Copies of this chain bind each other. A is one copy, B any other.
């Protein structure tokens, strides 16, 4: 297996400042719709990067669950990432849509969504996922898969579809963006990069060298 020989020239699209909306969230939504239409696999998957409790970078895949003034996702507030965010509430989101040779990089500050927003999303989930939120003490060590399955049976006996509540430690975050970069792959690694920076209440747009 020669990984270094895996290469692909990006040729399908280009991106210029004149192509983008003045508002980066509107621009994000346009690209997201195009990604849905292009049948990107797991289109709402993104890497959420945080600062670990040891001060070094940490990251994992999460699913984007909404875009409005910010970017919304849900998690266990007592998970490793929840503890990290409690300590340092800046994060970065990286979307990669290879079907379109596109990448979006978002940086900003996280805030918890309201309990009402967390409830609304929690109750829209399938019952199995609601049970899942109660079962898992996220990121804690487990002796075996069986322990998890036993806990699941226990929780299933405790709740019905009508009686289940949202675990108090489970809810959403909204990342309020301070910079957003749109990246379009181009031939010979000379990619197009358009970056928005929030400065004095306005979004300032520039092109970056690839």
A29 touches B44 (CB 8 A): no
CB neighbours of A187 from chain B (8 A):
128
User: Do A60 and B94 contact each other (CB < 8 Å), given the known contacts A132-B210, A209-B137?
Assistant: yes
CA distance A16 to B2 in the complex (A): 28
A210 touches B148 (CB 8 A): yes
B4 touches A56 (CB 8 A): no
Q: Is A162 an interface residue (CB 8 A)?
A: no
CB neighbours of A209 from chain B (8 A):
136-142, 148
Q: How far is the CB of A11 from chain B (nearest CB, A)?
A: 12
CA distance A43 to B8 in the complex (A): 11
Q: Is A32 an interface residue (CB 8 A)?
A: yes
- Chain A stretch 82-121: residues in CB contact (< 8 A) with chain B: 88, 90-92, 94, 96, 98-99, 103, 105, 107, 121
Q: Is the interface of A mostly helix, strand, loop or mixed?
A: mixed
Q: How many residues on chain A are close to B (CB under 8 Å)? A: 80
User: Do A145 and B16 contact each other (CB < 8 Å), given the known contacts A5-B124, A132-B190?
Assistant: yes
Nearest to A6 among chain B residues (CB) is B44
A32 touches B1 (CB 8 A): yes
Residue in B16, B29, B140, B183 whose beta carbon sits within 8 Å of that of A208 in the complex: B140
CB neighbours of A55 from chain B (8 A):
90
Q: Is A126 an interface residue (CB 8 A)?
A: yes
Q: What string of 1s and 0s marks CB contacts (under 8 Å) between A1-22 and chain B?
A: 1011111110000101000000
What are 7 sample pairs from A and B whose C-beta atoms fall under 8 A apart? A3-B66, A49-B49, A50-B57, A57-B92, A60-B105, A128-B187, A132-B188
